[in-house]
Chain A
């Protein structure tokens, strides 16, 4: 049984971090795939994430689902409430008046769209009760970028060498098993 390690490399130079990932991507370290690389950064880095390859973010699908749910549920809820409350025909208006229901349905669309978006965000991004990274440095919240990945004995040293080559500031590691 090979030993497993978890490694976190902290870089202050984003370009170097970027280059390190680019190297991993080009298999400079045999046996290490870019798919295992996780990046931790203080700000949004769409351009660095580019080099990580396409990774899914399915939030918009849930948003759409929420919006559609909001429309259908909203309208049916209103209409059925009105249809069961016949004492209310008022002001010469029909029992199910479309103009007011459109207004309210629109609000329901947005409300459920937002709620679905937020819930899917919290779930998919692993916040709240999701799994967190075991290695974390407070420096990441300041100005450093971290590359974290799980490795086995064979790839452990070469990767560290790669990190050092790219002027890593600090390497944190722990043995998983």
Chain B
């Protein structure tokens, strides 16, 4: 009986993430991205396209920012500013929200090559910043080339996209993943609006109709669906691979072994910049990296003793509790 259910389990049902939450996690899949190793080759992104049946939307739609790149390599072209942080607002949000502005100001500015934004560039030939009208003056590119930031769904434990979905199409799995149920999605797109990383992609068109002309449809991955128009989608940490590994482990009556499988991007990365694994397993590479870099889950501000440690999570101060740890790139000054 429902009423009875509420009364008996009231205290459990009232637990938020701060008190441990209702869930008991079987796994907590996590990732580490070492930006020192990232060369920005986009192999991970290509692998993601192949693995997850991502439609290639074409130049025009890509120019309108309707592309479906679940894993994207963000490029930032600015030389980090070595002057002390001044009062002007910048996009270095982590530091601001954490409340400890860094000694150097890193102005994050999107600078897309012209092929990325034909629609924007056609009008008057202005570049993105001028056209959009903010972001300051155009600075020279830094000596070392672009800084790369591979961004995939951060699988937040306190995900902002989850509570706003009107039909509960996105929810938290006992695997610690932020799952998107395509069949349940009605396409209100609130989740994407509320994702501070903007890592949710919407099927604005019936991509399946033209993204894989014959014989390309033969290369579609049969392990997961091709999404219909009008649903939201995003990186799943290759949940189909997780499924297979879990099923195999179950059949063989053992636990999932660390390194037994990994996501398509991790598998593909030529420099080994990406590491994937179960954070509940203390012996996994991911857990070790997280604890080495003294980054803990469930915190909005990390208390690192060693300033040399490079680990951080993107927009950690927003209390989204992401599952992806980034290791800062070290540059010679």
Contacts and interface: CB of A to CB of B under 8 A. Distances in A.
Given A80-B2, A84-B2, A89 B171 contact: yes
Nearest to B16: A94
B162 A95 contact: no
A91 B15 contact: no
Interface string B110-150: 00000000000000000000000000000000000000000
Contacts of A93: 16-17, 163
B22 A90 contact: no
Interface string B157-168: 111111111001
Contacts of B163: 90-91, 93
A92 B12 CA distance: 13
B298 to A, nearest CB: 9
A156 B12 CA distance: 75
A92 B23 CA distance: 10
Contacts of A96: 6, 10, 13-14
Contact of A95 (B3, B12, B165, B321): B12
A107 to B, nearest CB: 15
Nearest to A87: B171
Contact of A88 (B9, B158, B164, B171): B171
A78 B180 CA distance: 23
Contacts of A86: 22
B13 A92 contact: no
**A interface, by DSSP: helix, strand, loop or mixed?**
loop
A122 interface: no
Nearest to B13: A95
Interface residues of B, number: 30
B21 interface: yes
A84 to B, nearest CB: 6
Contacts of B160: 91
A89 B5 contact: no
Interface string B1-42: 011011001101111111001110000000000000000000
A82 interface: yes
B105 interface: no
A79 interface: yes
Interface string B276-313: 00000000000000000000000000000000000000
B172 A90 contact: yes
A94 to B, nearest CB: 5
A105 to B, nearest CB: 14
Contacts of A95: 12-15, 22
Nearest to B2: A80
Given A83-B5, A83-B9, A92 B171 contact: no
Contact of B2 (A83, A88, A91): A83
A80 B5 contact: yes
A85 interface: yes
Nearest to B158: A92
27 contacts: A76-B6, A80-B6, A83-B6, A83-B13, A84-B5, A85-B168, A86-B22, A87-B171, A88-B168, A88-B171, A89-B21, A89-B23, A89-B172, A90-B163, A90-B165, A91-B164, A92-B16, A92-B17, A92-B18, A92-B21, A92-B158, A93-B17, A93-B163, A94-B15, A95-B12, A95-B14, A95-B15
Interface of A: 76, 79-80, 82-96, 98
Interface of B: 2-3, 5-6, 9-10, 12-18, 21-23, 157-165, 168, 170-172, 321
Those 8 A-B pairs whose CB atoms lie nearest each other, nearest first: A92-B17, A92-B158, A80-B2, A90-B162, A91-B163, A95-B13, A91-B162, A96-B13
